Structure 1
Amino acid sequence: MLFGGVCDDDKEIHEGLSQFFSEFERNNDCKFHLTYFSSGEELLEHYLCKNFEKFHFLFLDIEMAGINGLETAKQIRSLTNNDVTIIFLSSYPDYVMESFDVLTFQYLLKPLTYDVFESKMMRLCAHLSSTAKQVMFLKDQRGQNIVPISEIIAISKLKHSLVQNKLQVITTDQEFLITGTISSYSVKLGIPFLLVYRSVIVNMDYIRGFTANSVVTSNQLDFPISRTQIKQIKDTYAKYMAGKFII
């Protein structure tokens, strides 16, 4: 499932793209969850919400009343979670060069035909598929969340006796409460994630030090460490860090 946003002040564009996406789903092994916006302000309001839904891609109109598409894209790129793939829509080719400043993936001219849409979506799906391992889908009470794996600091099992198979995922800017087991995520994630305790996985990129019985991360959190395996854990961390700096 790919999550996408469509931002255009023309409702006919919304309807046309909705039909294109439906036809593309029927003909290809790709499913979409789409959210539609009618202005740049509305899209930015979505991004500024505390628990906003992250998108894989955005179809963004350039000529809109209020904040235009280019300015909207610039503001999105200035945010912490700014790696969304942007596809611009425009009736004019004049903004092509300026669109490069916000790392646009495609610049499509209106009116958009299905043949052009299909060819560009095939390329987009291939691009997102090649980077799929770089993100993780985490489902919590807020819904489905797309989280870059590189932003995950640690995953720990909740200790509350009434909670079964509940994990706390700590990232650089927020936390998630999900269902799962430490063992399954330890296998799924692999390097650079390290099982430091039976109930804790830590991303070695965020380790900043060790104490006698804990590991300290960049956000100043302490996680317990297995005393019987502390030497092996430190050796693994040292080898990983040394390998990062080999040229």
Structure 2
Amino acid sequence: MINIIICEDEKCYRDQVKEMLVKMAFSLDIEIQTECYCSAEEMLAAYENREKSYELMIFDIEMPGCDGLQAGKIIREQYQYDGQLVYLTSHAELMQDSFEIGTNQYLVKPIEYKEFEAKLRPIIKKIIDNDKRITVELVAGGLQIIPMKDITTIQAKSQGRKGGVIIQTTRELIEAFGKMADFENMLEKRKFFRIHKQTIINLDKITQFDGVEATTVDQQRYKVSRNKKRELKDLLLRNF
């Protein structure tokens, strides 16, 4: 299930975007759930009390009161939203300002389905890809299923013959059994990279690499081994 927010003050465009999403979901054989809001204020109030995560948000830029750009900045900075963000606009020149917020894509009104599908299909496929999960054995007992997209880093921590790790996710720290090499094999190599013998990092969670340390979305800094620096730089450039 992919949860999507649509925030657009014009009903005709809200309905159109929803219909296009449903059509694309049918063609991809996936389930989606959409929530529609006619103002950024209404959307932000609902998001503050959210009970689930949203993989995709589609905002109109030009709305009365709090516009889509302001809403996107609040979502990114105040709520640390790192999901997919798509903008709608009647004026393409406004898109320049959205790039600073972290726009994944944009659509110019009036919207044609052919363009909608061309731009949104790769995003939806990326969301599906990011929904992959791993199951870990907890040090405290039991098992836990963790979405790969939620993992920021995995660091080695000795727990005896079973090995051990600390998994930093967007929500919590998890102590689990396992060896770093096993986690390397479980995780997708195009998404995760072992920057140090004791640290595996999610490439999508890196906000800065200064040549010595990698900084993640939670403002933590991790040392990169000398022999890993060039490869990390190449991976980040390729992902960008």
Shorter-chain-normalised TM-score: which range? Answer: 0.5 to 0.7
- Report the secondary structure of 2:64's partner residue: coil
CA–CA distance in structure 2, aligned partners of residues 98 and 5 of structure 1 = 21
CA–CA distance in structure 1, aligned partners of residues 39 and 113 of structure 2 = 24
Q: Does 1:68 align with 2:67?
A: yes
1:94-243 equivalences in 2 (<5 Å): 94-133=93-132, 182-183=142-143, 185=145, 192=154, 204-205=166-167, 242-243=197-198
Q: Which AA in structure 2 matches 1:43? A: M
Question: Aligned-pair distance for 1:37?
Answer: 0.8
Question: Aligned-pair distance for 1:109?
Answer: 0.3
**Same amino acid, percent of matched pairs:** 20
Structure 2 partner of 1:2: 2
Q: After superposition, give the CA deviation of every residue in 1:90-124 in whole Å (9 maximum; x if it has no partner).
A: 01112111110111011110011111111122111
Q: After superposition, give the CA deviation of every residue in 1:144-199 in whole Å (9 maximum; x if it has no partner).
A: xxxxx9xxxx7856xxxxxxxxxxxxxxxxxxxxxxxx24649x9999498969xx
Compared CA separation, residues 99 and 184, structure 1 to 2 (3 A): closer
Q: Which AA in structure 2 matches 1:98? A: D
Compared CA separation, residues 42 and 203, structure 1 to 2 (3 A): farther
Q: Structure 2: state its 5+ residue gaps.
A: 184-195, 200-223, 229-240
Q: Structure 1: state its 5+ residue gaps.
A: 137-148, 158-181, 207-217, 226-232
Q: Does 1:23 align with 2:28?
A: no
Question: Aligned-pair distance for 1:47?
Answer: 2.3
- Report the secondary structure of 2:103's partner residue: coil
Structure 2 partner of 1:82: 81
Question: Aligned-pair distance for 1:203?
Answer: 5.4
Q: Which stretch has the larger CA shift, 116-125 or 57-66?
A: 116-125
Q: After superposition, give the CA deviation of every residue in 1:125-160 in whole Å (9 maximum; x if it has no partner).
A: 222233333x78xxxxxxxxxxxx9xxxx7856xxx
Structure index of larger Rg: 1
CA–CA distance in structure 2, aligned partners of residues 115 and 132 of structure 1 = 26
TM-score of the aligned structures, taking structure 1 as reference length: 0.59
CA–CA distance in structure 2, aligned partners of residues 155 and 118 of structure 1 = 45
CA–CA distance in structure 1, aligned partners of residues 158 and 109 of structure 2 = 51
CA–CA distance in structure 2, aligned partners of residues 94 and 43 of structure 1 = 25
Question: Aligned-pair distance for 1:33?
Answer: 0.8
Q: Which AA in structure 2 matches 1:204? A: I
Question: Aligned-pair distance for 1:29?
Answer: 2.1
Check the 8 A contact 1:40/1:72 in 2, yes or no. Answer: yes
Structure 2 partner of 1:169: none
CA–CA distance in structure 2, aligned partners of residues 47 and 16 of structure 1 = 22
Compared CA separation, residues 81 and 203, structure 1 to 2 (3 A): farther
Check the 8 A contact 2:158/2:165 in 1, yes or no. Answer: no
Q: Which AA in structure 1 matches 2:75? A: I
Number of aligned residue pairs: 177
Compared CA separation, residues 184 and 89, structure 1 to 2 (3 A): closer
- Report the secondary structure of 1:4's partner residue: strand
Check the 8 A contact 1:5/1:35 in 2, yes or no. Answer: yes
Check the 8 A contact 2:24/2:121 in 1, yes or no. Answer: no
Structure 2 partner of 1:44: 44
Structure 1 partner of 2:58: 59
Check the 8 A contact 1:46/1:52 in 2, yes or no. Answer: no
Q: Which AA in structure 2 matches 1:82? A: Y
